[in-house]
Amino acid sequence: EKKKKKGTFGVYVWRYEHMAVADRTSQTSDPYVQVEFAAAKVKTAPLKKKLTADVRKCLSLKVMEPLMGDQIKVWFKDWDIVESHNIHIYIWIYTCIQVLNNMLRSNCHINEEKKKKKRGLMNKDMGVQEDDILGIKTFSWTTAKTSGEAEGYPTHWIHLYGAPDLESGELADKMNKGILEGCWYRGSVLLRLFGKHIEEGEESEAKQDVTDAIWNEAMAPATERWILQVGSLLISFIRSSFFLSISLC
């Protein structure tokens, strides 16, 4: 029998830029990240009415090898006003009311087929719906656990593509879920993935959790580091020129 190995996995999400518009009224979104891997799931809190924002969160998971699959799914979604735990409450209340109505109408005889049908139509009647999908990216655990400065998935920008903003329907849904190729830019995200094995006797503090992450400019992609350095030099030059002109006056 193959011995099981423990591992840790995490996604650092640093920043959103130009995310897709999901709210027609405010022309904004409430974006959040959800990571799915090896039957585990973890997500960040939504950032209300933001299309561009600093996130700086680390989504951590524990894994056990060997795994049934290698695919890591990173979903980018728009938070709906009705939260998921409230949806279950509404479903329970609605179902109870329908059961009582059926009991009164049919003298305690409940038609199961009608009950299931009405429960399925409830979402439409009550306006309850799943969170909109802004985009999805898939990664490999095999590559993630070799992550380093030049390997795996170091800090880099990913670009999301799908259906045009505010479009709905089956075709748009398939584009946003990555089933069909997207035809519209839906935002960029700066992130990093890491994964590693836990050796026997080694204690790991990694939990299925979302924690704050501290940004370090040294972790920025090479192009961004170059821009930051040039910007810093320009600011220093402008400041020194300003003070020099004052002293000469």
Rounded Cα gap, residues 175 and 238, in angstroms? 47
Give the pLDDT confidence score for residue 188 in this predicted structure: 92
**Predicted confidence band of residue 190 (pLDDT cuts 50, 70, 90):** very high
- When pLDDT is averaged across residues 56-80 and rounded to a whole number, the result is 84
Residues 6+ apart with CB under 8 A from 90: 82, 126, 128
Residue 122, pLDDT above cutoff 50: no
Rounded Cα gap, residues 160 and 172, in angstroms? 14
Give the pLDDT confidence score for residue 230 in this predicted structure: 61
The architecture that CATH gives domain 5-80+132-215 is: Sandwich (2.60)
- When pLDDT is averaged across residues 230-243 and rounded to a whole number, the result is 63
Rounded Cα gap, residues 61 and 144, in angstroms? 13
**Predicted confidence band of residue 75 (pLDDT cuts 50, 70, 90):** very high
Q: Is the peptide bond before 66 cis (omega within 30 degrees of 0)?
A: yes
Within 128-189, residue ranges assigned H as helices are: 141-144, 170-176
How many other C-beta atoms are found inside a 10 Å radius of the C-beta of residue 31? 28
Rounded Cα gap, residues 220 and 215, in angstroms? 9
Taking alpha carbons only, the member of 203, 121, 132 closest to residue 162 is 132
How many other C-beta atoms are found inside a 10 Å radius of the C-beta of residue 124? 9
Q: At what angle do helices 112-126 and 84-105 cross, to 10 degrees?
A: 140
User: In the chain, where are the structural domains located?
Assistant: 5-80+132-215, 84-126, 217-249
Pairing mode, if any, of strands 31-37 and 5-17? unpaired
Residue 3, pLDDT above cutoff 70: no
Give the residues across from 48 on adjacent strands. Answer: none
127-136 residue pLDDT tens: 445 788 999 9
